[in-house]
């Protein structure tokens, strides 16, 4: 019998996967997990290790911190989606995005 926490976690993973437009097979490949592991996680059939959860986060292109926040709180705000997007970029790309954002709001009081 699956534990209630495992079932809740699995449902959140399924929703995140579907919102990302991924099949279970695609998430498995991106996460370097087996399709069976993804199915069992989504079904709540076992408790994944932290290593497996980290792989899922990478496959979903979100940070481990964000994955836990989503599981704990639910939906993703625009702020969360921006952070998730930036988490998937290189350091140089993040620095470039930061320069653009600062330039867009340079007239704002307190902007540096």
Q: Kindly indicate the confidence band of residue 111, based on its pLDDT and cuts at 50, 70 and 90.
A: low
pTM above 0.75, yes or no: no
pLDDT in tens, 33-90: 999 999 999 999 988 999 999 999 999 998 888 888 888 776 667 777 788 788 888 9
Give pLDDT tens digits for 3-24.
788 888 999 999 999 999 999 9
3-state secondary structure of 67: helix
Thinking of the domain 4-74, which architecture would CATH place it in? Orthogonal Bundle (1.10)
Query: Rounded to whole angstroms, how far apart are CA atoms 4 and 24?
Result: 21
pLDDT of residue 1: 46
Domain residue extents for the chain: 4-74, 77-112
């Amino acid at each position: 019998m699956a534990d209630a926490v495992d079932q809740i976690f699995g449902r959140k993973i399924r929703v995140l996967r579907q919102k990302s437009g991924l099949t279970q097979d695609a998430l498995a490949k991106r996460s370097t997990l087996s399709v069976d592991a993804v199915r069992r996680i989504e079904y709540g059939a076992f408790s994944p290790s932290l290593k497996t959860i980290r792989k899922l986060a990478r496959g979903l292109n979100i940070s481990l911190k964000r994955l836990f926040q989503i599981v704990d709180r639910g939906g993703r705000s625009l702020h969360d989606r921006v952070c998730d997007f930036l988490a998937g970029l290189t350091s140089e790309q993040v620095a470039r995005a930061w320069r653009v954002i600062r330039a867009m709001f340079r007239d704002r009081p307190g902007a540096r």
